[in-house]
């Protein structure tokens, strides 16, 4: 399967580097340093509504698209994904939250909304990802699993970097696999060299790392350790 501009390999663990807390002036030099180890650049888009914080996701994306030779993994933490998706034309993966499309009456995914967002993303040539917060049940994903390329399990409450991994979220990773999902399962939040092995054993094959990667004393050693 071709994912993000390259061929996905069975049993491979992919590293997506989150530049959320990297100084803009340092992004390029850090990416170059681990060019051969980094599979994606992770762009966190926050609107200050869906999550408390707000990021300049558009500029992070545009700069990465212009200066970095890496597939871009865009994570939309916004109230209205459809209103911003077009800003990320050129992304390889665009992920939105299932919490955006839950029907308040049935407490299930609104498939009309899902299909509209999914169609828009695919129309831009990107892969479709869905994310869920730590306290959102993974059983909601059953209906959309065959229709998505990536499932992002948030291992912290979304909104800011540097948090500690919430241990029970790894059960969600394992359960997603038990439900039969064969695609990319991404984990994001509090992933460190110390806990990445467990995340992978549970079924994750795409690791988002920010603090553990870009604030490490030795960037290359950290990247190699996170990829296993």
Whether 51 is covered by a domain: the verdict is yes
pLDDT at 197: 96
pLDDT digits (tens, 9 = 90+) for 132-183: 999 999 999 999 999 999 999 999 988 766 779 999 999 999 999 999 999 9
Whether 137 is covered by a domain: the verdict is yes
Active site residue 188: yes
The total of structural domains in the chain comes to 1
Whether 4 is covered by a domain: the verdict is no
Which run of H or of E encompasses 117?
helix 111-123
Q: HSE-up of 131 (CA within 13 Å, CB side)? A: 28
Check residues 11 and 196 and name the one with the higher pLDDT.
196
pLDDT at 160: 64
Mean pLDDT lowest for which of 5-9, 140-144, 150-154, 216-220? Answer: 5-9
Instruction: Kindly report the CATH number assigned to the domain that includes residue 184.
Output: 3.20.20.70
- Three-state SS for 212? helix
pLDDT at 9: 60
DSSP labels, 37-103:
T--EEEEEEEBSSSSS-B--HHHHHHHHHHH--S-EEEEEESS-GGGTGGGGTT-SEEEEEGGGGB-
Catalytic residue among 21, 36, 44, 47: 44
Whether 80 is covered by a domain: the verdict is yes
Whether 47 is covered by a domain: the verdict is yes
The pair phi, psi for residue 153, each rounded to 5°, is -95, 115
Mean pLDDT lowest for which of 6-20, 101-115, 184-198? Answer: 6-20
- Residue corresponding to tokens 């100084």: 23
Give the DSSP letter of residue 152. Answer: E
Whether 1 is covered by a domain: the verdict is no
72 close to 43: Cβ distance less than 8 angstroms? yes
The whole-number average pLDDT for the span 82-90 is: 96
Whether 5 is covered by a domain: the verdict is no
Whether 190 is covered by a domain: the verdict is yes
Largest Cα–Cα separation, the chain:
50
Active site residue 44: yes
pLDDT at 10: 64
pLDDT value at 77 more than 60: yes
pLDDT at 93: 98
Range of the domain at 109: 12-227
3-state helix, strand, coil in the chain (%, to 5): 35, 20, 40
- The answer to whether the pTM exceeds 0.75 is yes
Rounded to 5°, angle at Cα 187 from 209 and 93: 85
pLDDT at 161: 65
pLDDT digits (tens, 9 = 90+) for 101-139: 998 888 889 999 999 999 999 999 999 999 999 999 999
155 close to 174: Cβ distance less than 8 angstroms? no
What's the whole-number average pLDDT of the chain? 92
pLDDT value at 3 more than 50: no
Mean pLDDT lowest for which of 13-17, 101-105, 206-210, 219-223? Answer: 101-105
């Amino acid at each position: 399967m071709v994912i993000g501009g390259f061929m996905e390999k069975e049993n491979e663990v992919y590293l997506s580097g989150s530049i959320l807390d990297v100084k803009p002036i340092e992004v390029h030099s850090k990416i170059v340093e681990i060019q051969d180890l980094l599979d994606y650049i992770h762009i966190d888009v926050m609107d200050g509504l869906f999550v408390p914080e707000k990021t300049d996701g558009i500029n992070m994306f545009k700069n990465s698209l212009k200066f970095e030779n890496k597939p871009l993994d865009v994570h939309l933490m916004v109230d209205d994904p459809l209103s911003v998706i077009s800003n990320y034309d050129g992304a390889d993966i665009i992920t939105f939250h299932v919490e955006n499309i839950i029907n308040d009456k049935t407490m299930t995914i609104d498939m009309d909304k899902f299909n509209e967002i999914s169609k828009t993303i695919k129309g831009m040539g990107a892969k479709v990802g869905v994310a869920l917060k730590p306290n959102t049940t993974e059983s909601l994903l059953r209906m959309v699993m065959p229709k998505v390329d990536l499932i992002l399990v948030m291992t912290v409450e979304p909104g800011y970097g540097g948090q500690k991994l919430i241990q029970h979220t790894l059960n969600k990773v394992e359960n997603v696999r038990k439900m039969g999902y064969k695609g990319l399962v991404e984990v994001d939040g509090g992933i460190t060299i110390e806990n990445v092995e467990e995340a992978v054993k549970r079924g994750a094959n795409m690791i988002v790392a920010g603090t553990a990667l870009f604030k490490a004393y030795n960037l290359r050693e950290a990247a190699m350790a996170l990829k296993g």
